[in-house]
Structure 1
Amino acid sequence: MLLIKGRVSIHPFFWMMAAASFITGQFHSFFILFMLVLAHEAAHGIAAVFFRWQVKSLTLLPFGGHLEVKGILNKPVTEEAVVALSGPFFHLLVHIFLLYSHLPFAYTEELIHLNLQLLFFNLLPVWPLDGGRILSCLIHLFFPFKKSLDLLIAFSTVTLLTLIAASVWQLQLQWLLLLIYAGFSTWHLYRTRHFLFKQFLLEKWKAQHTESKIVYVPASYSLHSLINSMVKGKKQQFLITENGKVIGTLSDDMIIKRYFSAHD
């Protein structure tokens, strides 16, 4: 994995599924799954390197993986969406190739089945799956960072509870285990949301943005309201208005600096 400058590791949950495949005699299925997951993450890695992201580490999971990227919280939404879509796009290309290539491979049908499972599971609008990350990008197009984070957690939670209930009803143990893992990830996102917001502000403060956004705000706006108006991936210039006239300007750097000074 030359795309990764840091470490590559395998999550314990992945080893649990490997052990289960040995016990049940499904090792060949697990091997196919493992190769698909590697290629899936390679697609994400290639997209990340294309945008010159600094990838610090990669953790492999049964349904994909987790790329740890420097400054990920303040990346442009379009870049983040492309990186998130690259994994499902890889599975789509594999599916088209397998349908029309007619390879004389004994496990072609199983490869098609597992590839489609990974594709559809990763597209679920649940954090931290690719579908959840794509949903996050869509929300960030319309809302500030803090509001977007709250909406993502709420939507993921409702979707997860619905899917878990359906998995229990249909006795789909494999899906249930994967959804429970996603549930713990969403819970962790909820517990660390305040820390993530402060980390986002620091990343935004240090970033060199290529896009800018002008925001008109009334003079009555508090520091708290201004800080909650911060969006990801863009430089913001706040024009302070009173009685329909602009009476001053504030950059996002100034607001963030004042926010951290007030919280020292």
Structure 2
Amino acid sequence: MKFKLFDIEFKIEYSLFIILLIALFAKNDSVLFLLLFSSLHEVGHILSLYLLGGKAKKITFAYYGIGMVRHGDLNFLSEIIFLLSGIAINSVFVIFNFQREINFCLLFINLLPIYPLDAGRCVKLIFERVFDFNVSYKLYFSFSVVCFVALLIFSLYIKNFNLILICVYLFFQIIRGNYD
């Protein structure tokens, strides 16, 4: 389902409804909290984008929460601030002990250097400033794959359903290969 509001395209994917139904039928409220706090994480990005002078182009609601595509580029420092703003939101919830486990999980995961996660995007920006495109691409892609495999093994070892869902999302992002 798509609609436009304030010159921003909004898209609601059916995958969101599937995950919500599964969570409701399984009586797994932690999935609902995961969606809520991953969405609040993205709201942090959206707010910082507007504070830094940027503008959202498209906002998607899907099984992983909210995703955003924006207009134009930010300078290096603004981009780093933008990327870390979602992590800051989860940090506040961890500090105030509000759904601490879920927010710590989101905080930890977004600090992993896996592209397209926040720290992975920061690593990509830094590598692109230091190395040429081919070297930087190989480096952050390698970091992403190694960290993903470690996270997947850890998720399966501790049998954490939320982490496994995040790994599924990351797997599809990595194989999609959209490293813009």
TM-score, structure 1 as length reference: 0.58
1:9 counterpart residue number: 11
Matches within 5 A, 1:120-131: 120-131=108-119
Q: How much does 1:67 deviate?
A: 1.6
The equivalent of 1:51 in structure 2 is: 52
Aligned partner of 1:143 among 113, 131, 139: 131
CA distance in 2, matches of 1:166, 1:17: 22
2:37 maps to what in 1? 36
Q: 1:135 to 1:15 in 2, by over 3 A?
A: farther
Give the structure 2 partner of residue 164 of structure 1: 152
Q: Structure 2 CA distance, aligned partners of 1:69 and 1:147?
A: 26
Question: SS in structure 1 opposite 2:119?
Answer: helix
Q: Matches of 2:104 and 2:136 in 1, distance apart? A: 30
- Aligned amino acid, residue 175 of structure 1: L
Computing the radius of gyration over CA atoms, which structure comes out larger, 1 or 2?
1
| Structure 2: distance between partners of 1:177 and 1:20 | 12
User: 2: distance between equivalents of 1:11 and 1:143?
Assistant: 37
Shift of 1:143: 1.7
Contact 1:44 1:84 in 2 (8 A): yes
Give SS of 2:131's match: coil
Counterpart of 1:233 in structure 2 is none
User: Which of 170, 174, 177 in structure 2 is aligned with 1:186?
Assistant: 174
Question: Does the CA contact (< 8 Å) of 2:94 and 2:103 recur in 1?
Answer: yes
| Residues paired across the two proteins, number | 176
Unaligned runs of 5+ in 2: none
Question: RMSD value over aligned CA atoms?
Answer: 2.6
SS at structure 1 position matched to 2:130: coil
Query: How far apart are the structure 2 equivalents of 1:146 and 1:53?
Result: 28
CA distance in 1, matches of 2:43, 2:68: 10
- C-alpha separation in 2, matches of 1:139 and 1:33: 31
Q: 1:131 to 1:24 in 2, by over 3 A?
A: same
Residues 155 and 163 in structure 2, CA contact (< 8 A), matched pair in contact too: yes
Calculate percent identity across the aligned residue pairs. 23
* Alignment TM-score, normalising by the size of structure 2: 0.80
Higher relative helix content:
2
Corresponding residue of 2:92: 93
Letter in 2 for 1:136: K
